Chain A
């Protein structure tokens, strides 16, 4: 983490979606550094802008409606100013992505093998036969049994877990430096979820990839990440090493999020829910977006947005409470 130049560096990323009726501010100033081989987890509830952040990193948003600003650098190259060609080389080459719903992320009319070899041939000057050999290795790598036969299967012929493995194989096909995973286990059942998570974790260590993992599940985040960034209304409200954030959550939202999960709860103890609902991204408040739902709300919370404060070296929080006392009530 202490390396001189981060692999991915995001500065003040903002994304808004413009439509006739309203402008929805999905991401409102995200800063992020990711070192080579690091696993970061973006945690947040649905609609907090985590998927949009991920997609914005490879500009995978509808160009007509999405307004992007800020800077995204991958290995020193600015993604925001890339042309169509450079972008195509980046996507699937240096940075690749896994999607939430593996059933929909494969083209239903081509076999899995064809889709993997297609991607390999597109990015690297290899023959089709070589690409196919590589595809077999990849399926083997993600532990799909009898890979040769599976290559000839259509996506609908595979089970959900198998499809997500194949999706991972596709994403790894050109040895990316960064893997973006958009809730890759949400659509799977619990037992398969763990398998996929362990696989991803293993592959990440084996191949030395950096991974950005988006999820709403605290348990998943703890399982996979080195570092956690908690997102609320398009901003990182708290970020830091997994242990620190989980053990000493400093932002009231993170505290609420952790209190409302089943994982750490005692039997017979009532689960706590965060009162209220997420803010309307079309008309965000001036101050802290979490203030209306916050139990520790101060007067100034609704007036201005708190600066980043650092209770520990790698631990960043955006809350007035954290700025005044290291351990808010």
Chain B
């Protein structure tokens, strides 16, 4: 964290000079360029995404091909650079392929929740009064449940499967996003510049579209980015419980689950999916922090 503040402090002068002559996105880029942590996270994520997308070409072996003879080989075995799992499948190939589902289940529910929760929060925050009460109290009901429990309960009642897992995760993420959007909107709505815009003749719709949305979108978008890591972990948890992805499909959470029994035999291999989850979610978190400071024109 301290490193991030140091670098951003150094960037302020450069950014201020830049902002006067260049456009907004160029300013953001200039600030990001000096923030090494964010850039590193960005690179790590790009590599993970790219390797997942190109898994078909990158993977040295078939991720579904089992072999009783080659079970639980350690890392560095000839032909299996990251060893094999409890059914003798190549770990490297499975991790590459598994990234697809894990990232998918990390990002998609958050995007859905951003659209639904964002719209609800914006309407509730801007209109206020009864509408706000109705929307926010309904959402509070969902808040009564711990997020993991809620996801498990919904997935459990809908049945296992990727689609149902995404539905349940979306339901889990709508309340926090709506809550954040609502509070930012309420705050923005009462600021002087909204009054000033009205005093210079802007209609309600223009105010929402131009002044409220632009001020709300930044913080909410960044909050949503930080939820991606939570979503990946929750999705992994659902798969771990047998509610998300079904075997034999590779997915990091599910792999962690099935390798659990082998943790005494080959602990390093068993830890690999966890390591992937850890790095991915950490990168998303740190990146959202960096984006926050880069995208705020006021800093």
Chain A residues in the interface with B (C-beta under 8 A): 58, 60, 64, 84-85, 88-93, 96-97, 99, 101, 104-110, 118-119, 122-123, 149, 152-154, 156-157, 167, 170-171, 173
Contacts and interface: CB of A to CB of B under 8 A. Distances in A.
24 contacts: A85-B203, A89-B201, A91-B198, A91-B199, A91-B201, A92-B201, A92-B202, A97-B199, A104-B191, A104-B192, A104-B193, A105-B196, A106-B193, A107-B193, A107-B197, A108-B297, A109-B214, A149-B20, A149-B21, A152-B20, A156-B298, A157-B19, A157-B20, A171-B200
Contacts, number: 84
A93 B199 CA distance: 9
Q: Which of A101, A107, A108, A153 has the most CB of B within 10 A?
A: A107
Interface magnitude class on chain B = 20 to 34
B136 to A, nearest CB: 17
B195 interface: yes
B200 A108 contact: no
A64 B132 CA distance: 14
A96 B298 contact: no
B248 interface: no
A61 to B, nearest CB: 10
A91 B297 CA distance: 28
Among A88, A90, A106, max chain B CB count under 10 A is at A88
B128 to A, nearest CB: 8
B297 A119 contact: no
Nearest to A180: B199
Given A108-B215, A153-B20, A154-B19, A88 B298 contact: no
Contacts of A91: 198-201
Given A105-B192, A109-B215, A110-B214, A170 B20 contact: no
A108 B202 CA distance: 17
Interface secondary structure of B, over-half rule: helix
Nearest to B21: A152
A191 to B, nearest CB: 24
A119 B200 contact: yes
A97 B201 CA distance: 10
A153 B19 contact: yes
A55 to B, nearest CB: 8
B211 interface: yes
Given A107-B197, A108-B297, 4 more contacts: A58-B199, A104-B191, A122-B206, A156-B298
Interface in B1-59: 16, 19-21
A117 to B, nearest CB: 12
A97 B20 CA distance: 27
Given A91-B201, A149-B20, A152-B20, A99 B215 contact: no
B216 to A, nearest CB: 10
A90 B202 CA distance: 10
B124 to A, nearest CB: 15
B24 to A, nearest CB: 9
Please indicate which of the listed interface residues A84, A90, A92 has the most CB atoms of chain B within 10 Å of its own CB.
A92
